[in-house]
Amino acid sequence: MAFTDDLAELDKLESLDTPILSVYLNTDPQKASSREYLRLLCKDMRARLEAQLTQPRDAKALHREMERVLGFLESEYRPKGKGLAVFSCEPKGLWQVFQLPMTVENALYFETRPQLGPLHAALATYRCYCVVLVDKEKARLFSVHLGQVEEYGDVLYPALPGKHKQGGWAAARMQRHHEAKVHEHLKNVVAQLTEYYRAQPFDRLVLAGPNEALTELRRLLPKTLDEKVVGTLSLPILASKAAILEAIQSMEQEPLWPRGYVK
């Protein structure tokens, strides 16, 4: 996933000549988290951190990096989620922003390496969802983790035979043929879902689509995957990533956040 790839790159960074600024902000809309409030909070944390610095050049570097953050909060920041993490080091060309679906403790770090403790904790505690969106002809597979949604291709099946307009034996045979094709399609979906789970295990499985297709899909799931199912969603097959994320976030309970990262 993009989030974990970016985190891995940050993990490799070290800057011995100029420190890296790490900022964590609680942006929960239920709290006082307006842009102006966040800017004032950052200035207050900067003042307290500056008082601890012994080298004038470090104080100057901190001021430079915080100005980048303050400028972002004033002109570019668009509230999304409940937490914000920013990593900045202009001499190293570093500028990385994460908007998180969980709250974080307000904190400021200025060190030779980015402070990634809270983000590593989030990866360890926040649930990873797989969403299977199906109907009788098509399926789409999504991974949802830390406010990020990725789609992994789709599972298409040749056009199903239409329903016969007349009754009788021919119509019954056509209907059986139609149902067999749907069954084969859903078996293929389960096979691909099983393969995906082996490659990238997830914590929770959500089935989405019309009830008739979901009932059959659930019946075909192996026990390992059936035990992962935490709910179903009524979504159209062409649902957007934003709609899927919103639906999952409404299902997710607020995770516990480890304390002890405030400086």
pLDDT digits (tens, 9 = 90+) for 188-242: 999 999 999 999 899 999 999 998 889 999 999 999 999 999 999 999 999 999 9
The pTM is what? 0.61
**Comparing C-alpha atoms, which of 239, 184, 179 is closest to residue 206?**
239
Degrees, nearest 5: CA angle 149-94-6 = 30
Place of tokens 């953050």: 69
> For residue 142, what pLDDT is reported?
95
Q: What is the DSSP annotation of 157-214?
A: -PPPPPPPSS-HHHHHHHHHHHHHHHHHHHHHHHHHHHHHHHHS--SEEEEES-HHHH
Domains of the chain: 2-125 (3.30.960.10), 129-251 (3.30.420.60)
> For residue 249, what pLDDT is reported?
81
Choose between 4 and 21: higher pLDDT. 21
pLDDT above 90 (res 112)? yes
Contact 25, 84 (CB under 8 A): yes
Confidence of residue 159 (pLDDT cuts 50, 70, 90): very low
